[in-house]
A and B are shown apart, each in its own frame.
Chain A
Amino acid sequence: MAVSTTAGPSASASELGSLFTTALLTLFIMVAGIVVSVAFAAGAYFLISLVLPAYKLIGAVAVMVLGVAACFGYFWGSNRILDTIYPASGANIAANLTKANAIRPWLFLGPAIVILTLYLVYPVINSIWLSFHGPTGQAWVGTSNYEWLAADDGFRESMRNNILWLIVVPAAATFFGLIAAALTDRIAWGNIAKSLIFMPMAISFVGASVIWKFIYDYRPPGTEQIGVLNAIVTSMGGEPQAWLTIPLWNNFFLMVVLIWIQTGFAMVILSAALRGIPEETIEAAIIDGASPFQIFYKIKVPQIWGTIAVVWTTITILVLKIFDIVLTMTNGQWGTQVLANYMFDWMFRGLDFGRASTIALIIMIMVVPIMIWNIREARKDMK
């Protein structure tokens, strides 16, 4: 990484040579720093595990402390090595500083670049490769995984559901978030209300699934309903329903869980955006005789479109990856399959890495437009 990005296009041969040595030196210092600090930490861990009994929590704390120490040791050590090679004093101070300054950023960035490459960049490339291979990733199968996908009913169902999720969840969460943000800003106990609406953000998808499964609980007619939803339905004279098994509708009952979680997120962000609107524009509208609703829809909302878009896309990305809720509530039965869970299915139950990778790639492709948009926005910001 360091090697390829340091080289400018117009570097002459001698510049290239010195660049090459710089890059080599950078690499050397990085490796030396990592090896020394990791070796030190591993040694310390070994010693500690000799002395201390094998309580897991103590082990975890020890590893945590040592991991952080190793991290810090790397940064400290590699900088120290660099300063020893190019000291910022003596006769060559100017040249030394220039060289050290060319290397130092890469020492700071080193671990991040290595980990990002290993955990995010390499997997994308490897997944593409795997998608052309068989279940164990050995036999080349050409495009047959893609052909299978195109004809597969499970995939179609997942796509249909994912699209439903993509339409409903970001819209609903943003809508409720906007309403909650606009209303809580106007009342005295708004902050408490906000806290409570925001709270589901802290709850895991699995926890939320348990919570909502309890709400959707179904008992046969005639017995007392312990799920809130069926209790309400029966108290109004309706028939109790096994909500999670009603085709198509059950998707919406699953979506409710994510909307419930994400509304708080939308509310917090939109509330900050609403408060960022210049007060004068609102006062001008009041003087112009606008009603509170007109102020909201014609003055406030148009001024926060950018933030609404950000909230929307953030939730969209989350929805594309939605997995836990479906896995724990229905496991994709009764027509509720989604891409991420389908991929998980093929990975662990189907044991076909080729097909699973192909499904993962589909999710990736759906993310790409948002990725490009984000990068463009970020570049605009940094200018």
Chain B
Amino acid sequence: MAGVLIKNIKKSYGATEVIHGIDLEIKTGEFVVFVGPSGCGKSTLLRMIAGLESITSGDMYIGEERVNDIPPSQRGIAMVFQSYALYPHMSVYDNMAFGMKIAKAPKAEIEKRVKAAAEILQLTPYLDRLPKALSGGQRQRVAIGRAIVRDPKVFLFDEPLSNLDAALRVATRIEIAKLKESMPESTMIYVTHDQVEAMTLADRIVVLSAGHIEQVGAPIELYEKPANLFVAQFIGSPAMNIQPAKIDKTGEKTTIRLGKTRADLPIPSPAEMAGKEVRLGVRPEDLTIATNGNGLFDGRVNIVESLGEVTNVYLDVENVPDPVIVKLPGVQRFNRGETVSLAADPGKLHLFNESGRSLLYLDGAQG
């Protein structure tokens, strides 16, 4: 079993560079998820690990071996594709056995491994069927089974759930989590644009944007301590509200001024930030209605979305161009145009400097 080490990897198509020097270490047995908006380079990075895309510069190691020029089949990886990529003219059994047949493995060995994988994935009754006779979820399991049969050091998943309907997606997600648990030594790398998949499956999440890594960290770390505005707004739904504020006092704690009100935040700030403009971030679920009149800021109710379990309120707030969203538990009633005062626990507020970096990570660390 092996980890993956990526050193200053770059990728260009002709003159356009799409991956701008990525460094990342993935340890043996880790479940790492790459997330990011479409076009951020997450799939390209995964395909470079697989060997389906050539590496323009930098070094890639799987285990101890530098794999830059090693063909996919000899890297010790297996890949589950978004469209499953099952061979339509082969039975489930042959699909799973194909790689070993190519490698000229003994028949008995092939049969043993295929049967074992089929057992794990409850595919045994379907081994003789063609892929077209299977449901979407079953096809997905065959694709995973094909990967298991290869007994790889590293599993690669390229958006494996995005072709499934919502209910099946949840079920298969749980199955993948169980699979990981049953194979603690296998390294798994998983690409998705769905943050729920990322949050629920990952040991660590790698957030990518425009060919850069924005932040690497455990799911809750990314949620609680986003390193920059991009991560802050990418993780969490609805996205974090951002509004301008001014630093009044620096030190162990930072005092900010927001319109007429002030707040003390348990975030340290350096002295040279005094008087600077900053961006205050607050998650919709961290905002509450202030009943005693001393809220952080006021807003006018614009749109109310009642979802039953929660109510999302969209408010117009002075000096904030986008509506501020408040996510309140249960069913709540508001009148359009009504002014409400909003409060938040200072410990759940986030501060970003004008270049978008969180004040928690000013030393340059990426978490």
Does A88 have its Cβ within 8 Å of any Cβ on chain B?
yes
Query: What CA separation (Å) do A97 and B70 show in the bound complex?
Result: 8
Give Cα A246–Cα B255 distance, bound, in whole angstroms. Answer: 105
| A93 interfacial contact with B, CB 8 Å | yes
Chain B residues with Cβ below 8 Å from A98 are 69
Is A35 in the interface zone, CB < 8 Å from B? no
By beta carbon, the residue of chain A nearest B71 is: A97
Question: Which residues from 96 to 114 on chain A have a C-beta closer than 8 Å to any C-beta of chain B?
Answer: 97-98
> Does A24 belong to the interface (CB within 8 Å)?
no
Taking CB atoms and an 8 Å cut-off, the chain B residues in 42-79 that contact chain A are 68-71, 74
B66 nearest in chain A by CB position: A94
> Whole-angstrom distance from the CB of B76 to the nearest CB of chain A?
14
Q: How long is the Cα–Cα vector from A211 to B350 in the complex, in angstroms?
A: 88
A104 to B72, CA, bound (A): 18
C-beta contact mask, B132-170 vs A, less than 8 Å → 1, else 0?
A: 000000000000000000000000000000000000000
Residue of B nearest to A101 (CB): B71
Report the bound CA distance from A94 to B68 in whole Å: 8
Instruction: Report B-chain residues with C-beta under 8 Å of the C-beta of A97.
Output: 69, 71
Question: In the complex, how many angstroms separate the beta carbon of A227 from the nearest chain B beta carbon?
Answer: 53
Query: Nearest B residue to A93 by beta-carbon distance?
Result: B70
A-chain residues with CB within 8 Å of residue B71 when the two chains form the complex: 88, 93, 97
Q: A93 to B71: give the CA distance in the assembly, Å.
A: 9
Q: Point out the residues of chain A lying under 8 angstroms from B68, CB to CB.
A: 94
Give 14 A-B contacts (CB < 8 Å), ordered by A residue.
Answer: A88-B71, A88-B74, A89-B74, A93-B69, A93-B70, A93-B71, A93-B74, A94-B68, A94-B69, A94-B70, A95-B69, A97-B69, A97-B71, A98-B69
Q: How far is the CA of A89 from the CA of B74 in the complex (A)?
A: 9
> Complex formed: what's the CA distance from A94 to B67 in Å?
9
Where the two chains meet, the residues of B that have a C-beta atom closer than 8 Å to any C-beta of A are: 68-71, 74
State in angstroms the CA–CA spacing of A93 and B69 once bound together.
8
In the docked arrangement, what's the CA distance between A95 and B68, Å?
Answer: 11
- A68, chain B: closest CB distance, angstroms: 21
Further contacts, 4 of them, CB under 8 A, given A93-B70, A93-B74, A94-B68: A88-B71, A94-B69, A97-B69, A98-B69
Chain B: minimal CB distance from A76 (Å): 16
Interface residues of A in 79-136 (CB under 8 A from B): 88-89, 93-95, 97-98
Secondary structure of the A contact surface, majority rule? helix
9 A-B pairs with the lowest CB-CB distances in the bound complex, closest first: A94-B69, A97-B71, A93-B70, A88-B71, A97-B69, A94-B70, A93-B69, A98-B69, A94-B68
Chain A residues whose C-beta falls within 8 Å of the C-beta of B69 in the assembled complex: 93-95, 97-98
Residues of B within 8 A of A89 (CB): 74
Considering the complex, which residues of chain A in the window 42-97 have a beta carbon less than 8 Å from any beta carbon of chain B? 88-89, 93-95, 97
Q: How far is the CA of A95 from the CA of B71 in the complex (A)?
A: 11
Residues of A with C-beta under 8 A to B70: 93-94
Q: How far is the CA of A362 from the CA of B70 in the complex (A)?
A: 55
A36 to B74, CA, bound (A): 32
A97 to chain B, nearest CB (A): 6
Q: How far is the CA of A98 from the CA of B68 in the complex (A)?
A: 12
Q: Which residues of B contact A88 (CB under 8 A)?
A: 71, 74
Chain B minimum-CB-distance residue to A98: B69
- Nearest Cβ on chain A to B33's Cβ, whole angstroms: 30
Closest to B73 in A: A88
Minimum Cβ distance to chain B for residue A325 (Å): 43
CA distance A94 to B66 in the complex (A): 11
A94 (CB) vs chain B CBs: closest residue: B69
Q: A97's closest neighbor in chain B, by CB?
A: B71
| Residue on A nearest B67 in the bound complex, by CB | A94
A95's closest neighbor in chain B, by CB? B69
Residues of chain B contacted by A94 (CB below 8 angstroms): 68-70
A19 to chain B, nearest CB (A): 19
What is the CA–CA distance of A95 and B69 in the complex, to the nearest angstrom?
8
Cα distance, A116 to B70, chains bound together (Å): 36
Query: Which residues from 24 to 50 on chain A have a C-beta closer than 8 Å to any C-beta of chain B?
Result: none
| A93: B residues at CB distance < 8 A | 69-71, 74
Within the assembled complex, what's the spacing in Å between the Cα atoms of A88 and B71? Answer: 9
The complex places the Cα of A95 from the Cα of B74 at a distance, in Å, of 15
Question: With the chains together, A89 CA to B70 CA distance in Å?
Answer: 9
> In the complex, A89 Cα to B69 Cα: how many Å?
12
* Distance in angstroms between the alpha carbons of A97 and B71 in the assembled complex: 8
Residue of A nearest to B69 (CB): A94
Chain B residue, CB-CB nearest to A92? B69
- Smallest CB–CB gap between A379 and chain B, Å? 18
Of all chain B residues, the one with the shortest Cβ separation from A96 is B69
Per the bound structure, the CA–CA distance linking A314 and B6 in Å amounts to 54
Shortest beta-carbon distance, B77 to chain A, in Å? 16
Residue of B at shortest CB range from A89? B74
**Cα separation A98 to B70 with both chains bound (whole Å):** 10
| Contact mask for chain A residues 218-246; partner B; CB cutoff 8 A; 1 contact, 0 none | 00000000000000000000000000000
Q: Give bound CA distance, A98 to B69, whole Å.
A: 9
Of B68, B69, B70, B74, the most chain A CB neighbours within 10 A belong to B69
**In angstroms, how far is the closest chain A Cβ from the Cβ of B65?**
11
**Minimum C-beta distance from B235 to chain A (A):** 37
CA distance A120 to B69 in the complex (A): 40
Question: How far is B68's CA from A281's CA once the two chains are assembled, in angstroms?
Answer: 52
Least Cβ–Cβ distance between A295 and chain B, in angstroms: 37
Q: In the complex, A94→B55 CA distance in Å? A: 13
A13 to B230, CA, bound (A): 49
Determine the distance from Cα of A88 to Cα of B74 in the docked complex, in whole angstroms: 10
Q: How far is the CA of A89 from the CA of B73 in the complex (A)?
A: 11
Closest to B54 in A: A98
- Name the distance in Å between A377's Cβ and chain B's nearest Cβ: 25
The complex places the Cα of A182 from the Cα of B71 at a distance, in Å, of 53
User: CA of A97 to CA of B75 in the docked complex: distance in angstroms?
Assistant: 14
* Measured CA separation A235–B71 after assembly (Å): 80
Minimum Cβ distance to chain A for residue B60 (Å): 12
Distance between Cα atoms of A94 and B70 in the complex (Å): 6
8 Å CB contacts to B: which residues of A328-343? none
Query: Whole-angstrom distance between the alpha carbons of A118 and B269 in the complex?
Result: 78
CA A89 to CA B103, docked complex, whole Å = 13
Residues in A neighbouring B74, C-beta threshold 8 A: 88-89, 93
